[in-house]
Amino acid sequence: MADGKADAILDAALRLFDERTYAGCAMPLIADAAGVAAGTIYRYFPSKEALANALYRQWKARYVECLFADDDPGEAPRPRVERVWGALFDFAGAHPAAFSFLETHQHAPYLDADSRALSARLDKLAVAFVTSVQETGAVRAAPAAELIALFLGAFTGLVKARTAGYISFDDSLRARSGDAIWQLLARPDAPTGGHLMTRSLPLTTRPRR
C-alpha cells in the first residue's frame, strides 16, 4: 500500500488518526509507524494540519470517485441504490480506516477550505442521487438529507461493527444489508417487486396520492 515515503506517511497517519484522533496522535508516532524520522514528514507535508488535509482530500476524492462511478440514471431505483451500497462495501471493505476517517473527521476544525469544498461536492452528488431516485416515486418522499443520513449512517454502523470485530464483511452481509437498506428507502406503499421486476416496470410505479 505504501510505495514512496509520502505514501507511507499518509498510510500511517490514516491508521493512527482513525485509531487515536487527530489531536491524540503525535507526529513522532506517525513517523515511527511510517518507518521514517520525525523530521522527514516535514519534507512532504508542511505541518500536521496539512498532512491531515492531504489525507482527507486524497481519500475523499477516491471516495467520491467510486461512489457514483457506476451509477446509471436510466436504471431502476433499486439497482441504483444497491449499486451505491455495493460501492460503499467495496470502498470500505478495501479501505476501512479511510472510510472511518472520512466519516469521523467530517467537520474537523483543522480541515481547510479545499477539504470542505470536496466534502460539499460529495454532499451535492448524494443529494442529486437521492433526488433522482425519489423522482421515480419508488423512494420515500423524505428530505434527501434525512435519507442520506439514514443510509450512510447505517453503513457507517456496519463499518464500525466490523472494526469492533462484531461482524465481518462478506457477500452475505452485502446481500442482506443491501436488501435491508432498500427497504429503508423504498416508498412503503409502492410496489417494490424483486430485482428483476423493478427494472422492467419503473413506469408503473406511481405514487398513489
Partner DNA sequence: GATGAATGAGGGTTCATTCAT
Partner DNA sequence: AATGAATGAACCCTCATTCAT
* Residues at the contact surface with its own copies, assessed by CB under 8 A: 19-25, 104, 106-107, 109, 140, 142-143, 145-158, 160-161, 163-164, 166-167, 173, 176-177, 179-181, 183-186, 188, 194, 209
Query: Taking contact as CB under 7 A, which single stretch among the options 39-47, 85-93, 152-160, 192-200 is the one that binds DNA?
Result: 39-47
Cβ neighbours, 10 Å, residue 200: 10
How far is it, in rounded angstroms, from Cα 181 to Cα 179? 6
Residues 38, 61, 120, 201: which binds DNA (CB under 7 A)? 38
Single-letter amino acid code for the residue at 119: S
Using CB under 7 A as the binding rule, the residues of this chain from 45 to 84 that contact DNA are: 46-49
Residues 2, 19, 21, 37: which binds DNA (CB under 7 A)? 37
How far is it, in rounded angstroms, from Cα 134 to Cα 199? 15
CA nearest to 73, candidates 65, 64, 63, 81: 81
CA nearest to 191, candidates 139, 117, 122: 139
Residues 13, 25, 67, 159: which binds DNA (CB under 7 A)? 25
Return the number of the residue (28 or 157) whose C-beta is nearest DNA: 28
Cell 433499486, residue located = 78
